Structure 1
Amino acid sequence: MKTVNIPRVDLNTYINGSAEDKKNFSNEIGRAFNDTGFITVSNHGLSKELITKLYEQVQQLFSLPDEVKFSYEKPELAGQRGYTSKGREKAKDAKTPDLKEFWQIGQTVTDGDPVKELYPDNLVVKELPEFNPITREVYQKLEQAGDQLLRAIAVYLEL
């Protein structure tokens, strides 16, 4: 079996580096995507403490009784926010439904933003008061990291 080495990149090099550092970072991820299609990212903005808190909250969420989880399943949102129970989805052309359950969150759009009506609000999990603040923080940090990675990819592609 062939093993593939997935390159690890330090996002801090791009965020705080010189123009030359940024160009080298962009070339490094461009090569990685061409060679393997993947990278791993360090210094992405999520502390180990925040990741631990997130996992704790997610474990608590999925440990809630089914009746509670079902109360957060909103068909009118088409799975864009809240809970999706086991058996609701299936792979394309599959006859057997998936055995996964998941929770969907999205960008927080504030009142007055012109796109507010296009994005449903995230559902508030009343039973877990720390769930929403932690997932919001994680989402925002991942969004910031993603923005920087997309900028670096644009440099590589000379866009």
Structure 2
Amino acid sequence: MQSIPHVDMRRYQNDFDAFTQDVGNGYEKYGFIALTQHGVDTALIERALDTCRELFALPEDVKKQYHRPGQGGARGYTPFGTEVAKDAKHVDLKEFWHVGREVEGEPAYPQLLPNVWPQELPKFKDDMLAIYAALDNLGNQVLEALSVYLGQPKDFFRNKVNNGNSILRPLHYPPIIDEDTPSVRAGAHEDINVLTLLVGSREPGLEVLAKDGTWVPVTIIEGAIICNVGDMLQRLTNHVLPSTTHRVVNPPAPFNEKSRYSIPFFLHFNPDVMITPLESCISDENPQRDEPITADDYLMQRLREIGLIKD
């Protein structure tokens, strides 16, 4: 693998069958694709990344006012050095803020908690909700293609993600001060959710683990959005679509002297969706690998493993 496959989103409108094959084949081989011509406004992406810079530049004591202990980082601020990749020995070198689905009135599920907004940066709310909506819509288009690729109706996923506890995660990886640190910006991991859509970053560091065991730097066309399979989709497809291991390594000079910013969007199932392997993905050659589990139970299990929820 030289890099991940690029998929032109314009084919969603003008050649859906070809788009379906592009998406499905890309995921079945690599678990990662890069979406080009995706229609998400470049100005919105740039503005959101710049607003995130301003957010994380706020004083530490101000940011920590928006930390919500006991919520597993579900909303608001999570301080530097909190999260650790599953089975890793060292914490990740990052801080982040979680924005969830903005709900008016009574939420469909108790897991859809109120968002936490920084009073010091009013534009943060508008910018984050705008990019949340854009990425949620884009993710649903990709899921329509996957539905067909997996032999399901085109709208198969629609009522399974319409009230999902999907998360937008503005991320800040500060400059690497200690070049000998055993920690990396994000240790090798797989994502928990259904699909992840990554906006940014403008700096190098993201690497994907190829099937031959080598780490491949993700080099993408300017403006593309990286979109990868998460563990929930891997379970649903009985591992036909792989949730590929990836990491963010500490970059070489001069990039290590700069902060890295990115905004992943983690698209989730509705909390009560039962993740049961699809019959179309089970065969004699690929027997059922995982037992059914609800999306929320699986999420809680994984959040404990990465240290965001303490028993």
TM-score category of the 2 structures, normalised to the smaller one: 0.7 to 0.9
- Show structure 1 runs of 5+ residues with no match: none
From 123, 128, 144, the equivalent of 2:121 is 128
The residue type equivalent to 1:26 in the other structure is: T
Paired residues of 2:24 and 2:149 also in contact (CA < 8 A): yes
Q: Give the number of the structure whose residues are more often helix, by fraction.
A: 1
Alignment partners' CA distance in 2, 1:96 and 1:37: 26
Alignment partner of 1:4 is 2:2: yes
The residue type equivalent to 2:5 in the other structure is: P
Q: Which residue of structure 2 lines up, in the alignment, with residue 27 of structure 1?
A: 21
From 7, 11, 15, the equivalent of 1:13 is 11
Paired residues of 1:45 and 1:142 also in contact (CA < 8 A): no
Calculate the TM-score normalised by the size of structure 1: 0.88
Q: Which residue of structure 1 lines up, in the alignment, with residue 112 of structure 2?
A: 119
Q: Which deviations, in whole Å up to 9, do the C-alpha atoms of 1:39-66 show, x marking residues without a partner?
A: 1102333211111101110000110000
The residue type equivalent to 1:61 in the other structure is: L
Paired residues of 2:83 and 2:91 also in contact (CA < 8 A): yes
Alignment partners' CA distance in 2, 1:74 and 1:126: 16
Alignment partners' CA distance in 1, 2:64 and 2:141: 36
Q: Which deviations, in whole Å up to 9, do the C-alpha atoms of 1:123-143 show, x marking residues without a partner?
A: 111111110110001011100
Q: Which residue of structure 1 lines up, in the alignment, with residue 176 of structure 2?
A: none
Alignment partners' CA distance in 2, 1:84 and 1:93: 20
What is the aligned length? 152
From 77, 80, 85, the equivalent of 2:74 is 80
Alignment partner of 1:138 is 2:131: yes
CA spacing shift, 1:102–1:157, aligned 2, 3 Å: same
SS in 1 for 2:10: helix
Alignment partners' CA distance in 2, 1:70 and 1:25: 44
Q: Which residue of structure 1 lines up, in the alignment, with residue 54 of structure 2?
A: 60
Q: Which residue of structure 2 lines up, in the alignment, with residue 97 of structure 1?
A: 91
Paired residues of 1:87 and 1:98 also in contact (CA < 8 A): yes
Calculate the TM-score normalised by the size of structure 2: 0.46
Q: Which deviations, in whole Å up to 9, do the C-alpha atoms of 1:70-127 show, x marking residues without a partner?
A: 0010013220111100122222233432221111111112214433x33111111111
Paired residues of 1:23 and 1:156 also in contact (CA < 8 A): no
Q: Which residue of structure 1 lines up, in the alignment, with residue 191 of structure 2?
A: none
Paired residues of 2:11 and 2:18 also in contact (CA < 8 A): no
Alignment partners' CA distance in 2, 1:94 and 1:28: 34
Alignment partner of 1:157 is 2:150: yes
SS in 2 for 1:94: coil
Alignment partners' CA distance in 2, 1:114 and 1:7: 37
Paired residues of 1:26 and 1:153 also in contact (CA < 8 A): yes
Alignment partners' CA distance in 1, 2:54 and 2:87: 33
Paired residues of 1:91 and 1:98 also in contact (CA < 8 A): yes
Paired residues of 2:81 and 2:91 also in contact (CA < 8 A): yes
Higher relative contact order (CA 8 A, sep 6+): 1
SS in 2 for 1:99: coil
Identity of aligned residues (%): 38
- Show structure 2 runs of 5+ residues with no match: 153-311
